[in-house]
């Protein structure tokens, strides 16, 4: 899969994380001079971090869903010399699949691996 993330990849881009960390540090450092401003700044920083993380995770989930759902909805072509009979399959004349084709199973395995890695990274935050 082209966009597999390495195990240690953070959910926040490094530059975005560094900017938020610096801003938070500045808010904490400003507490002595202006406690209310420091807390209000920290609140905004946390709000932005949550929004950024939510956006990143939503994009990641959408990408994962697109990968496996697009493969699940593809219908394999019927061989031209083998007419599909309703008695052999469903009412539409397709043959029911007892097990997914090997390519579909592999795609689903990779999708599950990506889901697991993303969830584990989230749980390590």
Tell me the C-alpha to C-alpha distance, in Å, between residue 113 and each of 7, 33, 48, 51, 68: 11, 49, 29, 25, 12
Structurally, how many domains does the chain consist of? 1
In a domain, 117, yes or no: yes
The pLDDT assigned to 84 comes to 43
Is the confidence at residue 27, as pLDDT, over 80? Answer: yes
90 belongs to a structural domain = no
Give the chain's length.
Answer: 125
Q: Is residue 92 part of a domain?
A: no
d(CA 108, CA 74): 13
Residue 81 maps to a domain: no
Task: Identify the burial level of 24 via C-beta atoms within 10 angstroms of its C-beta, where 0-12 means exposed, 13-18 middle and 19 or more buried.
Answer: middle
Confidence of residue 12 (pLDDT cuts 50, 70, 90): confident
Is the pLDDT at 7 greater than 60? The verdict is no
Is residue 114 a part of any domain in this protein?
Answer: yes
Which pTM value belongs to this model?
A: 0.60
Residue 105 lies in a domain: no
Residue 26 within any structural domain of the chain: yes
pLDDT at 80: 46
Q: How confident is the prediction for the chain on average, in pLDDT?
A: 75
- Asked if residues 45 and 23 have their Cβ atoms less than 8 Å apart, the reply is yes
Q: Sort 8 into a burial class: Cβ within 10 Å, 0-12 / 13-18 / 19+.
A: exposed
Domain span holding position 23:
12-71+110-125
* Per-residue pLDDT at 69: 85
**pLDDT tens per residue across span 29-54:** 999 999 999 999 999 999 999 999 99
83 in any annotated domain? no
Tens digits of residue pLDDT in 100-124: 566 688 888 888 998 888 888 877 7
Say if residue 24's pLDDT is above 90. Answer: yes
Nearest-10 crossing angle of helices 35-73, 102-123:
170
Question: Of residues 85 and 15, which shows the higher confidence score?
Answer: 15
């Amino acid at each position: 899969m082209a966009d597999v993330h390495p195990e240690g990849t953070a959910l926040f881009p490094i530059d975005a994380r560094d900017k938020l960390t610096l801003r938070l540090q500045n808010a904490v450092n400003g507490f002595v001079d202006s406690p209310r401003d420091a807390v209000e700044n920290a609140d905004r920083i946390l709000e932005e971090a949550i929004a950024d993380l939510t956006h990143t995770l939503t994009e990641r989930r959408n990408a994962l869903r697109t990968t496996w759902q697009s493969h699940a909805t593809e219908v394999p072509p019927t061989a031209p010399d083998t007419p599909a009979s309703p008695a052999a399959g469903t009412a539409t004349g397709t043959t029911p699949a007892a097990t997914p084709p090997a390519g579909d199973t592999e795609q689903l395995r990779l999708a599950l691996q990506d889901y697991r890695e993303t969830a584990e990274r989230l749980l390590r935050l």
